[in-house]
Chain A
Amino acid sequence: MKITKQLLASLILMAFCLGKAQAEYTLNLMKGVTKVSNDIYDLHMLILWICVFIGIGVFGTMFYSIYHHRKSRGHKAEQFHENTTIEIIWTIVPTLILVSMAIPATKTMLELDDVQDSDISIKVTGKQWYWEYDYLDTGIHIVSRLDEASNKARQTGSGIDPRSIPNYLLNVDHPLVIPTNKKIRFVFTAADVIHSWWVPALGWKKDANPGFINEAWTSVKDAGVYRGQCTELCGKDHGFMPIVVVAMDQPEYDTWVKKTEDDAKKGPDLADQSRDQLIAKGVAIYEKNCATCHLPGGEGVPGAFPALTGSSVVTGDINAQVNLVMNGKNAMPAFGKVLKADELAQVITFTRNALGNAVGDEIQPKAVNDLLPKSATESSTQVTEKESVVSSVDLSKDDLIAKGKSVYESNCASCHQVDGQGMPPTFPALTGSPIVNGEINAQVKFVLNGKGMMPAFGNTLSQADLAAVVTYTRNGLGNSVNDLIQPSSIRALQ
């Protein structure tokens, strides 16, 4: 009885809320801000109305029958049970209706599929449980996570009212930024499990599959902030990896690119810090990056995520722990690509001296930096190198290959992979490729001017870098053409 009363009370309350909140939510699909999303909206409305129309016909007939042909009104049952004419009609007519739906649907499909002639390419990587964005043309890298305020409020029993958080669960720390009225091509992949990238205002979603590449494109008409979420179940925090796309007009976008590139140039702070300093700074990094799996107290989730408290890795050799954190293992992501050297030093020192552990040692940012793969640090100096005037001094083949390797890893490997195996059929393998193993000037021209999805590197790389990377691809990655090209020859071809 009490429950009934409570239910009734909440129903009445609901009615009030409905009146008040009417403006806040929508009943229908949004039109979105792209041509494609508008086409999809029109398609949706077309089918919806066809269904409503058929529904009124069928249900109308049925309710007419329910009302008039009832025994209580004395209706006598007729005994017919077949009528070939009407059966043919109600097979043919729906077929024609279906054809009329299929035609506009096919048109929209073809439009969605056309990723050619894009202005910007962005690689989207889904990870448990955040998104990473790599701008393939400028090299900008963004890690985009649920914002702090939402994250605090969404913990079970946090006591924080979600209504007090602006854009609860739909806000991130670093949004994806795109220019308006440009054709933007996205390539999707994932690091661990399948994710799906959905911003309703763009009109579509696309799965991000580990080890494979999917493509989609958009062109946003209006500047604004567009929000979405991961839509493929990807583990416990699937509901907590939102997407925010900020569309800016070109001038603001250019300013943003400049600022972001300048920020990226700042390397890690390699100055030594005291153990207490390291631990103090490590707390926040731990909570943001590690606590979702290993839990805030380090007790982990037995069977799925190991405890850090008393863990043999955390209380063992410090260099082995650094190695594991940097390179990952199974479900553990490789944080060497996510965190800077100083952040790694802080969080590792924190785990060894907190969470119930007391190993009593620390590691300095400089020591971590020495353990990090070289390409990460070299790429940060690459921008300055590009700006300097290229010396026309010839380099040795070994120098070219050594330099080319780092250029390759920061510019080519995201698509063609570190080992040159590519991701067929989207990104061809360079190992054994006819272009790489063919005439060298043809390859240089190809790299300079791009083709299809291959960007034109003539404007983004220096002549020395171009010479180095071309030489590297021909003599590394399983190829052995055994020739080389000098920066001066590149200039001649440009």
Chain B
Amino acid sequence: MSAVVAEHDHDHHDHGPAGGIKRWIVTTNHKDIGTLYLVFALAMFFVGGAMAMVIRAELFEPGMQFVQPQFFNSMTTMHALVMVFGAVMPAFVGLANWMIPMMIGAPDMALPRLNNMSFWMLVAGISLLASTLVMEGGAPASGWTLYPPLVLQTGKALPFAIFSVHLLGISSIMGAINIIATVFNMRAPAMTLMKMPLFVWTWLITAFLLIAIMPVFAGAVTMLLTDKFFETSFFDAAGGGDPVLYQHIFWFFGHPEVYVMILPTFGVASTIIPVFARKPLFGYSSMVYATASIAFLSFIVWAHHMFLVGMPMAGELYFMYATMLIAIPTGVKVFNWTATMWKGSLTFETPMLFSIAFVVLFTMGGFTGLMMAIAPADFQYHDTYFIVAHFHYTLVPASIFILMAAGYFWLPKWTGHMYNEKIGKLHFWLSAVSVNILFFPQHFLGLAGMPRRIPDYAVQFADWNMISSIGGFIFGASQLLFLYIVVDTIKGGTGEKVTDEVWEDASKHGLEWTLPSPPPYHTFTTPPTAIPTEHF
């Protein structure tokens, strides 16, 4: 192993990065592009977070205090779009860029120029979306689902929002093609498919999901565009169309889309937990099959988002049964993570704390998901704060927590500096407690009858909304600690010299820990011969 490392040490001086700002604009290096994606995602996390703060401030008390209802709707819409397309997805693409080549022993991504282009199209797409905030008629305010006919009442922003969805879709598809090409063609010879780290597996499956669904979404919004400007009637009953058709198309995209955000999350969790349990991942192959099953099921359950639109009974029953099936592979994953921890030798550094919180809180989101799969019960839950609580549990203390965990886990590798563990733990405990103050009461609100997407509410909902808002403000403020830690670590962190494997015995778990910290600009220019084989 050390021979491999030495080899890289001497050749990274040959092709260093270009100097100045140009390095970041024209770079084709997977590490630089990974950094760009991660920094952009973090910035968007704060932009989307600021919008969430506006929402929680308005909902702090009954009555309208700060904003107009239309702007409130723009905030809920833009918060979702920015968080989904600007923060969570790019963050995982950033992790993929940094880690996949280093995990499979490849020198770079398979298509480096495409890689650069997909990042800058993302920036273009999100900028276009953000520009709608200052347009006549305001930003889109019809919810991130952009349901017609309501979305067609958007002002000047509509074509811009639609074009931005096109750009984001192209960016995602190019990124996905790159990942598939890299995983299939660039693995070190000894790295067979069933030896790949779970993070690589989950991203490979996610990339296929992306290629399948992004064109569907692009098609749906293009139909909105022609309905609005070119006299078509895809979604207009007066011309023979059907507004519910849009919902079918949207959710055929939208349901797999939520798995695009959660499958790489599973992958990172499956990478971190074994390192701090000092044990191999339990049930590696069942993890791979469970991921593939979830991905397959995600394509055949979309109409569980539409139990109320008036489907035939047979359709409702089918979608109910199919949705319930998802609980089985998801359960297998949770059991596997628990079994990985069982009889390990556990330590609780910040990445592990975030990962454990993920397993617990994601499972709670999974439970409410199962409850909503039961169609008649969903007749009560649907479009209330119960579902707001549900999907935030599966996104914030799941995807976001795991992204934080990934940051703490790999920052020492990326920078060569150790982060401040005390502040890291403070960040964790503040986040873990406040996220529950923020979202747990929303279950009560939903069950008590508070609809989602309303700017003002009846007074019996006041107490839990205030508690939820307080949780939201603490959660929002706590994330500034993360920003501080990232900047501090890049600048030198605790000053402690980190080893190549950073975490105790991490080199047993993945190839990236055999490289120096920080890794040279180019790594694995010749493929590694030995790979960690502890699973077999």
Binding site for B on A (CB under 8 A): 7, 10-11, 14, 17-18, 21, 24-30, 39-40, 43-44, 47-48, 51, 54-55, 58-59, 61-62, 65-66, 69-72, 75-83, 86-87, 90-91, 94-95, 98, 101-102, 105-106, 108-110, 112-113, 153-158, 160-163, 167-170, 188, 192-194, 196, 198, 200, 203-207, 209-215, 228-240, 301-304, 331
Contact = CB atoms under 8 A, between A and B. Distances in A.
B451 interface: yes
Contact of A87 (B153, B332, B380, B461): B332
B185 interface: no
Interface string B344-369: 11111000000010011001100110
B461 to A, nearest CB: 7
A156 B338 CA distance: 50
Contact of B308 (A18, A51, A207, A302): A207
Interface in B358-385: 359-360, 363-364, 367-368, 370-371, 374-377, 379-380, 382-384
Given A62-B338, A70-B346, A238-B453, A301 B70 contact: yes
Interface in B301-324: 308-310, 313, 316-317, 320-321, 324
Nearest to B276: A71
Interface string B208-240: 000000000000000000000000000011100
A70 B347 contact: yes
B345 A76 contact: yes
B343 interface: yes
Given A47-B371, A98-B327, A169-B458, 11 more contacts: A43-B376, A61-B342, A70-B346, A91-B332, A102-B324, A109-B320, A156-B64, A156-B66, A158-B64, A240-B69, A304-B155
Contacts of B382: 205, 231
Contacts of A205: 308, 379-380, 382-383
B451 A229 contact: yes
A110 B376 CA distance: 10
5 contacts: A26-B447, A65-B346, A80-B343, A86-B339, A239-B455
Nearest to B151: A193
B335 A82 contact: no
A318 B122 CA distance: 52
B131 interface: no
A8 to B, nearest CB: 10
B65 interface: yes
Contact of A157 (B65, B155, B375, B449): B65
A153 B454 CA distance: 16
A193 B149 contact: yes
Given A69-B341, A106-B317, A234-B150, A17 B463 contact: yes
A90 B310 CA distance: 36
B141 interface: yes
Contact of A169 (B282, B363, B457): B457
A214 B244 CA distance: 12
Interface stretch (B7-15, B175-183, B467-475, B483-491): B467-475
A160 B64 CA distance: 10
A71 B338 contact: no
A80 to B, nearest CB: 8
A235 B286 CA distance: 46
Q: For the side of the interface on B, what is the size category?
A: 35 or more
Given A109-B376, A236-B69, A304 B153 contact: yes
B312 to A, nearest CB: 9
B143 interface: yes
B218 to A, nearest CB: 22
A106 to B, nearest CB: 6
Given A98-B324, A303-B136, A233 B142 contact: yes
A37 to B, nearest CB: 8
Contacts of B137: 301-304
A71 B346 contact: yes
A86 B338 CA distance: 13
B451 A200 contact: no
B363 A55 contact: yes
Contacts of B467: 14
Contact of A203 (B135, B308, B379, B448): B379
A69 B243 CA distance: 55
A7 B462 CA distance: 17
B458 A170 contact: yes
B219 to A, nearest CB: 20
A94 B155 CA distance: 49
B147 interface: yes
A229 B347 CA distance: 49
Contacts of A71: 278, 345-347
The 9 closest A-B pairs by CB, nearest first: A211-B237, A303-B137, A303-B155, A239-B454, A214-B310, A303-B136, A77-B345, A204-B379, A51-B367
Contacts of B51: none
Contacts of A113: 313
B280 interface: yes
Contact of B282 (A7, A82, A204): A82
Contact of A204 (B65, B136, B380): B380
Nearest to B147: A194
Contacts of B535: 81
Given A210-B243, A211-B238, A236-B68, A101 B324 contact: yes
A463 B348 CA distance: 85
B73 interface: yes
A94 B451 contact: no
Interface string B267-291: 0000000000111111110100000
- Which of A17, A47, A87, A211 has the largest number of chain B CB atoms within 10 A? A211
B458 A168 contact: yes
B343 A77 contact: yes
A392 B68 CA distance: 63
Given A77-B279, A77-B343, A167-B458, A25 B316 contact: no
B415 to A, nearest CB: 26
Contact of A27 (B69, B136, B367, B444): B444
A79 B310 contact: no
Contacts of A48: 371
B363 A58 contact: yes
A172 B393 CA distance: 35
Contacts of A155: 64
B325 interface: yes
Nearest to B284: A81
Contacts of A110: 313
B159 interface: no
Contacts of A10: 466, 470
A26 B464 CA distance: 10
A239 B456 contact: yes
Contacts of B309: 207, 209, 214
B458 A55 contact: no
Contact of B376 (A108, A162, A234): A108
Nearest to B372: A47
A163 B384 CA distance: 22
B63 interface: yes
Interface in B25-66: 62-66
B310 A207 contact: yes
A369 to B, nearest CB: 28
A44 B377 contact: yes
Contact of A75 (B135, B346, B383, B463): B346
B347 A109 contact: no
A112 B310 CA distance: 12
A106 B467 CA distance: 37
A193 B342 contact: no
A307 to B, nearest CB: 13
B374 A18 contact: no
Contacts of A167: 458
Contacts of B458: 167-170
B62 A168 contact: yes
A94 B345 contact: no
Contacts of B464: 25
B21 interface: no
B16 interface: no
B7 to A, nearest CB: 31
